[in-house]
Amino acid sequence: MPGRITSRPVAPADDTFLREVYTSTRAAELALVNWGDAQQAAFLRMQFDAQHRSYQAQFPEADYLVILAGDEPIGRLYLARGAEEFRIVDLSLLAAHRGQGIGTALLENILAEAAAAVRPVRLHVERSNPARRLYERLGFAGIGEGPIYLELEKRP
């Protein structure tokens, strides 16, 4: 893995950092709206809280991890290892750490673990998300789609 990349479980003290990661994933989208800082902050707070509640309800047994470069938090990985599949609930890196091979290395580790367990890895990705190219390069293929998201799978 590039550099010393590790992970640790999310702790209550990580809330501000997790919100920062979430906000970084919405920057391009919010650049298109004519909202003031307060309105953007309120929107992001509401969306983060809704997403967090949804993930906790849908995947209560998932591993909720902070990704670290050395001791510096740089992203989040939410991974549910189920009896039928491994589900990447969320994998997000701060913008400064994207495009450096970190996401690729994390995904390759997950794919190797799932292959050893003889389980597919599944995830949802927005059609316009640049990470979609990474997933396809690693062999993920479409198994379902909606108006915004594609469901992708990599079989062992």
pLDDT at 29: 77
DSSP category for residue 150: E
The burial class, CB within 10 Å (0-12 / 13-18 / 19+), for 68 is middle
Helix axes 15-25, 37-58, angle to 10 degrees: 110
- Quickly tell me which residue has 């390069």 as its tokens: 137
pLDDT at 92: 95
Domains of the chain: 5-154 (3.40.630.30)
Give yes or no for a contact between 48 and 42, defined as CB atoms under 8 angstroms apart: no
Give yes or no for a contact between 149 and 129, defined as CB atoms under 8 angstroms apart: no
Kindly give the confidence (pLDDT) of every residue in the chain, 156 residues in length, as a single tens digit, with 9 standing for 90 and above.
456 899 999 999 999 999 999 999 887 777 788 888 899 889 989 999 999 999 999 999 999 999 999 999 999 999 999 999 999 999 999 999 999 999 999 999 999 999 999 999 999 999 988 899 999 999 999 999 999 899 999 999
122: closest CA among 147, 142, 102? Answer: 142
Tokens found for residue 38: 């307060």
